[in-house]
Chain A
Amino acid sequence: MALLDIEGLSVAFGRPDSPIRAVDGVDLAIEPGETVGLVGESGSGKSVTALAVMGLVDPPGRVVARRIAFAGRDLAALTPAARRAIVGKDIAMIFQDPLAALDPCYTVAFQIGEALRRHGTPDERRSARRRRARALELLAQVEIPDARARLDAWPHQLSGGMAQRVMIAIAIACKPRLLIADEPTTALDVTVQAQVLELLARLTREHGMALLLISHDLAVVAQSVSRVAVLYAGQVMEEGRVPAIFASPRHPYTRALIDALPEHNVGRARLAALPGVVPSASARPPGCLLAPRCPRVRERCRIELPRPAHGEGSVLRCFYPLVPRGAVAADMGT
């Protein structure tokens, strides 16, 4: 049974008569211990999808789903209190801007302890000493140098990379079974990004924790997960295993994203840029959302919305997909 099972998730903002569809019928399943990536351009609905799973979409946002189940329990059917007992314990989430995500008024130890006091073992809930010991353990686990001294540090005393590690420490404090990481490295330098990605990989490996890694950076995702869903304007366009999906994408949008990467155009003067922009939330084309920009577009795409076709570990939403290439990594850059 899948650990997280999302079916037909939609999130809309704005007035009901003219909704802004941020997420539009997303299906996504994550097995225990699996690492899954969610990629897409800005505004494609990555963060909102994650927030919907966490139950953190605020009004006026409206969440509709056929099913959002975690470990077999339907999250949507739970009371807010029962949901909060799962959120933060079994599902944890970390955010893009680590310095902004820590409360500036409390120390690192306090903020780790807070999670333990809420969701920890009975022992941890009772004893402040126990919590502090565990906080120290966690800081060491996320490889913070000089962890003991950092316990009483204030968030503003941390560098971006260190703050991200603290946030990860807080998130994994109660041994979650799923960690949702929303652009965890976007605000960090490349070298620090590599460290944090390595840390996440190690934690998933060691704790058997599943990971949903959200990023706009294809390369970051390609390095870190085993399966990827590509989001465009709130819909999953393609889903497939890494590296196959990058080596031979079947959806024209995935293809276009890859082709637009400088990495993929070595020696070429021009990048293969996808013309136009993402459709605005208020003016969505009637057929395939990519139709106005798609190089393979035909008449049918403009009238009819393609349905997602589920295959062996893959999903594809396109009438005229690219032909899969035989060789897997033949086309990869240097």
Chain B
Amino acid sequence: MLIAVAFIAFALFNFTGDPVVFMVGQDATQAEKDQLRHDLGLDRPFVVQFARFVGRAVQGDFGRSLRQGRSVAELLKERLPATVELAVVAAVLALVVGIPLGIYTALHRDSPLAHAVMAASLVGVSLPTFLIGIVLILVFAVRLKWLPSFGRGETVAIGWWTTGLLTASGRKALILPAITLSLFQMTLVMRLVRAEMIDVLKSDFIRFARARGLTERAIHFRHALRNTLVPVITITGLQLGAIIAFAIITETVFQWPGMGLLFIQAVNFADVPVMAAYLCLIALVFVAINLVVDLLYYAVDPRLRVDRTATAST
């Protein structure tokens, strides 16, 4: 699957405009262009280019950025912390707010508050991310001037990792982008938890639990919630990948110096190596998350742990 993404990414960008033109400008001589093309290896057959690309990518070498002339791997490494921090904070926010809201709206389906939350969540699902971002900037940055509207604030370096979480301005700068990015996921998690929980509450084992006279709390949290979380884990796990991918828009709106912004800049420039590397990395993240989700699933759902029929025989 990774190879496939690499191939598509590579092929796509190979046919989407000539980077050489971008680099040297329309009026360079043909000789100049050819020279550059040869230097970059762009005059080789497509297959050779691809093989070289994959071979190097495996070693973490994605070539050089056509625009900045720096190593792509280094560029990505520099931008990675910003994106990861943003995505993780957004995901945690989505879960921490989304799951309790989902539980609440499932348990108190007819309360006015639940109705209000559901109505609000519709807005969250349907509004495009950039619009939410812009509205937040308008309100909190431009009008109220509480929070910065762009950038990452001050960061602290820990080894090659840079974090904004340790400085006040870094934390402040993170708030708006994180909310923007998480809003969609939050409503998704909430609606998922709600739907799943309502379903679980109708199941036979909940009815049996009630017939045993267990307390409401034990029924809701010990039995219903645990069973609700089984499918929720899968979807939210997969959503984490989506968050990283969605970060492109948020990063652009907030000028967040992450990989998404790097990618958008690369697109404007037809900077093939950067684009291809970014896509490969995203694919890698998806695969890794899938694996983690599977393992988590394994831990939560006992049905996957032991084989049924082999132990059922007497």
Contact = CB atoms under 8 A, between A and B. Distances in A.
Interface in B288-314: 300-303, 305-306, 308, 311-312, 314
Given A105-B301, A118-B215, A170-B212, A159 B207 contact: no
B25 interface: no
Interface in A103-118: 103-107, 114-115, 118
A104 B305 CA distance: 12
A104 B303 contact: yes
A156 B213 contact: no
A118 B214 contact: yes
Contacts of A145: 314
B212 A118 contact: yes
Interface string A260-282: 00000000000000000000000
A158 interface: yes
Instruction: Kindly state the interface size class of chain B when it binds its partner.
Output: 20 to 34
Contacts of A89: 213
A87 B303 contact: no
B211 A156 contact: no
Given A56-B207, A100-B204, A103-B223, 7 more contacts: A87-B212, A92-B211, A100-B205, A103-B227, A104-B227, A104-B301, A145-B314
Interface in A64-116: 84-89, 92-95, 97, 100-107, 114-115
Given A88-B214, A118-B213, A102 B208 contact: yes
B207 A114 contact: no
Given A105-B227, A156-B303, A157-B312, A88 B207 contact: no
Query: Which of B212, B227, B305, B314 is packed against the most chain A CB atoms within 10 Å?
Result: B212
B134 interface: no
B204 A95 contact: yes
9 contacts: A87-B211, A87-B212, A88-B212, A95-B208, A102-B208, A146-B314, A153-B311, A154-B303, A170-B208
A155 B35 CA distance: 70
Contacts of A171: 212
Interface string B189-213: 0000000000000011101111111
A237 interface: no
A171 B211 CA distance: 9
Interface in A219-254: none
A167 interface: yes
A95 B211 CA distance: 10
B229 to A, nearest CB: 9
